[in-house]
Amino acid sequence: MALEQDLQAKQTMKLQLRENFSSQQEELESIDGEMQRVQTRYHMTKNELDDISEVIHREREDLMDRIRELTREIRLKHLIIDQFIPALEYMKIEARAEWSPNDDKWIIPNVQYTGNRM
């Protein structure tokens, strides 16, 4: 409903503009000016879109690099755990571990009573 009214208003305005031109040359100059404005807006919008796409691409690459880095760290930690902790003991430790949302880390209860604690 509102779109139809807008469309009608624009068509009426176009008709009035055409009546206001005294010659075809004036009308041509007006249309050229409008085309220049539209082209300028188009190029500005296109450049802005290209800039935004470039920023998104860079951020995506940064995130992918971070994911690769974290994956390498996890693989290294798993390799170290596999080499130095027997699988059965690792499963026991993993079963006892609890997540602490306050500290934002895993906690192993009563670890202070183990013989290896320094």
pTM over 0.75: no
Please check whether residues 78 and 92 belong to one and the same domain. no
Beta bridge mates, 99: 106
Q: What is the pLDDT of residues 77-110, one digit of tens each?
A: 999 999 998 989 889 888 998 998 998 898 888 8
Please check whether residues 80 and 95 belong to one and the same domain. no
H/E element holding 105? strand 105-107
Number of independent structural domains in the chain: 2
Please check whether residues 41 and 80 belong to one and the same domain. yes
Please check whether residues 118 and 91 belong to one and the same domain. yes
The residue count for the chain: 118
Please check whether residues 91 and 77 belong to one and the same domain. no
* pLDDT value at residue 21: 63
Please check whether residues 65 and 42 belong to one and the same domain. yes
Q: Determine phi and psi for 103, rounding to 5 degrees.
A: -90, -15
Q: What is the pLDDT of residues 7-36, one digit of tens each?
A: 788 777 776 666 666 677 777 887 888 899
Please check whether residues 55 and 77 belong to one and the same domain. yes
Confidence of residue 61 (pLDDT cuts 50, 70, 90): very high
- Look up the domain containing 99 and give its range: 87-118
| Lookup: tokens for 63 | 């995130």
